[in-house]
Structure formats: structure tokens, C-alpha cells
Amino acid sequence: DVKVTQSSRYLVKRTGEKVFLECVQDMDHENMFWYRQDPGLGLRLIYFSYDVKMKEKGDIPEGYSVSREKKERFSLILESASTNQTSMYLCASSPSDGDQETQYFGPGTRLLVL
Amino acid sequence: RKEVEQDPGPFNVPEGATVAFNCTYSNSASQSFFWYRQDCRKEPKLLMSVYSSGNEDGRFTAQLNRASQYISLLIRDSKLSDSATYLCVVRLSGYSTLTFGKGTMLLVSP
């Protein structure tokens, strides 16, 4: 079974704090993704990575950065958290194996920025 | 125009009912298609891939119409445990990223 884990299920931070969200997958997948999910807006891609030290912007990268120093780990960083970054953050991974490659999600981190 | 559109619902059905969800996508270069299921406050999980010839997995049947850029999911003999949000998902050829619809909520009642 593919396993994607995220460092925290719930997180409360204050405006201006630096926030690190960690994601680890154990299936040697090449691709990793960070999404946020908000009511009425669905899943939106923040950043993704297709290899170690590689990153690509998704649809809403502003206010975020990422780091992928090891294949199994993909970190999302909020340099200075703001209240509009309160959301559910979901990490996913996928292999690079053709048309039917699909993504496996972690359990999510609910972040509240006060 | 939204890339992947779904009726948000909710669809309220009794146990045993048959329910169908529809989804349209705007990019004709879309190559792969999936249905994901998301339970309340949980992560999305793959329900099934959608193949050109249509495919079935137990009570679930998925259909793809490339000409109309339309995907469907049929659930027969609904169970209480089918209550969830169903996400329509597409992937462009040559890309690893997925585009998600906003989901259709299903509520199955006794």
C-alpha cells in the first residue's frame, strides 16, 4: 500500500509566523504535489516536484515556497503566514509510469492562521 | 470556462437507488480520466480510472465520451457508506499534474 504521511493533522499559527508542512511518501514516487482545498473552490495546486531539487509552480504559488532535498520528502513553506492561508493542505505523490499514473494523498493538515 | 465542471449537488437518494454523476472537461488534450472519492474531512482517494471503452467495478460504472468531452459515474444499489463527495479528475497527455472538479456530494439515507 502506498503511504503518504504529513507531519501534522492540525496546526494553529499566528500571522507572520514561518510555517513548515512536511510530507513523506514511502513508494519511491518521482512526483510530489502540494494542494490546498477550500470550500467552494475545490483542490488547487500550489507547487509540484518531479525530481529531487526540482520544483514547478502550480496554479496558486504566491505566498508559498517548497523544498525537495530527498526523493521521499516534499516540504511546503509559508514564509510569513497570513489569515487567507487558513486552509486544508493536502500532499500527494505519484509515479511517472504513463497515462494511468494517479496520485495518492496524505491525510491533510488543517492550518488555522490567527 | 472552468476546466472540469461538475454539478455540486448534494444528491439525496435512498438506499438502493441508482444515481448518476456527470462531468464535462474543456481541454480536448485531456488524456486520462479518473473518479476520486472524498469522505468528509478526509483525503481524496482513487475510486476508479475511466477508460474509453467504459469500465465497471462492482456497483460502479464509469463512461467516457471523448467527442462530447463528458465523463459519467453510475452507482447502482446505493449504500449508506457511499455517502461522500465524488471528484472528477482529468490529466493532460504528457503532464503529471491533475485537474480536479469541485466535486459532487452524495448523501444516501436509510
Hey, is the C-beta of B14 within 8 angstroms of any chain A C-beta?
A: no
Q: Which of B36, B100, B23 is nearest to A36 (CA)?
A: B100
Beta-ladder partners of A57? A47
Read off the pLDDT of each residue in B3-13 and give the average, rounded to a whole number.
Answer: 92
| DSSP states of B17-29 | --EEEEEEES-TT
Query: Which residues of chain B make contact with A106, given a CB cutoff of 8 A?
Result: 43
Q: How many residues does chain A have?
A: 114
Chain segment A30-43, per-residue pLDDT in tens: 999 999 999 988 99
Read off the pLDDT of each residue in A79-99 and give the average, rounded to a whole number.
Answer: 91
CB pairs under 8 A between A and B: 46
Report the alpha-carbon distance of residue A33 to residue A24 in Å, rounded: 11
pLDDT score, position B31? 84
Helices (H) and strands (E) in chain A, counts: 0, 11
pLDDT over threshold 80, residue A100:
no
Report the alpha-carbon distance of residue A77 to residue A89 in Å, rounded: 11
Hey, is the C-beta of A101 within 8 angstroms of any chain B C-beta?
A: yes
CA distance B84 to chain A (A): 14
CA distances from A114 to A10, A84, B41 (A): 14, 10, 21
Name the residue facing A48 among B46, B91, B97 (closest C-beta).
B97
Hey, is the C-beta of B93 within 8 angstroms of any chain A C-beta?
A: yes
Chain segment B38-92, per-residue pLDDT in tens: 999 999 999 999 988 889 999 999 999 999 999 999 999 999 999 999 999 998 8
Q: How confident is the model at residue A98 (pLDDT cuts 50, 70, 90)?
A: low
